[in-house]
Amino acid sequence: MKHIPVLLNAVMKALGDVQGKKIIDATFGAGGYTKAFLAAGAEVVAFDRDPNVIADAEKIKKDFGGRFSFVAKPFSAIAELKDKYDAIVFDLGISSMQIDIPNRGFSFREDGPLDMRMSQTGKTAAELIEQISVDDLAQLLKMYGDIKKASLLAKIIKNAAPKTTMDLKALIKNPKDVAPIFQALRITVNDEMGELTRALQAVPDLLNKDGKCICVTFHSLEDRIVKNTFRDWTSVPGDPRLPTIESAKFKLIKPAVPDNEELDNNSRARSAHMRGVIKSY
């Protein structure tokens, strides 16, 4: 399936005029956001841990030269940057390219090795299952997949030690549990919630005054982290019942979801939410 950037119009509207602005695209993927930012006149530094995207990044570098740079690291590595930026944008979750390549092991629709590693380094999903305890496997199925019979399924999966995506799918009798179980394993293999938490912690110090942080989320776990973080940033310190002279350090940007036209053109946008904040100090 052709990659279509989700909520791109809403993101561009939230960012406003980006001519001459410095933007971090924390989740490069197929480069959809990056190309839009560059076309609008911004300077972009993009991050992605997936080595498969490097060729696309090199093509963009040829077209835009010094206005674009690429960092082949996970987006928590934005904390290593020393400059200040006018916007930081996260398009979270898994990319369509990763899903569409069977040998990456993300999809339960085609057979492939049970891999799921975004960086293609470290422990695969099959190795995780082989090495984890049944109790810990059950816990991650509950936490990241909201699986009701997690203990039973964890025992079945652990005992079978599946090596391919179809091996795993065949073990899951309830079709409604397939996607959540694959999601739970993928999140664990890639430490997605830890990555997001660490990256967001770095955001306030990286933004200029009036700088914006925009996050597009696709499931409740990452959306909850973003929502709670933004709520903390936009809350006035101290007891809200008492007068205070210190205002909130961030202000909320109006959230957005895909409209009917976008949903008609891109079914993968159906669960997307955009949230954003503006730094006010």
Give the tens place of pLDDT for each residue, 128-176.
999 999 999 999 999 999 999 999 999 999 999 999 999 999 999 999 9
What residue spans define the domains of the chain?
Answer: 8-97+193-279, 120-189
pLDDT band of 2, cuts 50, 70, 90: low
Number of Cβ within 10 Å of residue 13's Cβ equals 13
Which of 83, 90, 72 lies closest to 34, judged by CA?
A: 90
β-pairing verdict for 68-71 and 43-47: parallel
Q: What is the DSSP string of 151-175?
A: HHHHHHHHHH---BHHHHHHH--SH
User: 3-state class of 5 per DSSP?
Assistant: coil
CB 113 within 8 A of CB 124: yes
Q: How far apart are the C-alpha atoms of 279 and 277, rounded to whole Å?
A: 7
Q: pLDDT by residue (tens digit) across 77-132?
A: 999 999 999 999 999 988 877 888 899 999 999 999 999 999 999 999 999 999 99
Report the topology of domain 8-97+193-279.
Answer: Rossmann fold (3.40.50)
Helices H / strands E in the chain, number of each = 12, 7
State yes or no: pLDDT of 244 exceeds 70. no
Which of 101, 77, 72 lies closest to 88, judged by CA?
A: 77
Mean pLDDT score, 244-254: 78
Number of Cβ within 10 Å of residue 178's Cβ equals 17
State yes or no: pLDDT of 238 exceeds 80. no
- Computed on alpha carbons and rounded to an integer, the radius of gyration of the chain in Å comes to 20
CB 109 within 8 A of CB 45: no
Sheet architecture: strand order including 250-256? 68-71, 43-47, 22-25, 85-91, 207-217, 273-279, 250-256
For the entire predicted model, the pTM comes to 0.92
Quote the distance between the C-alpha of residue 233 and its chain's center. Answer: 20
Give every CB contact of residue 210 below 8 A, 6+ residues apart in sequence. 86, 278, 279, 280
Mean pLDDT score, 28-50: 97
Q: What is the DSSP string of 66-128?
A: GGEEEE-S-GGGGGG--S-EEEEEEE-S--HHHHH-GGG---SSS--BS---SSS-S--HHHH
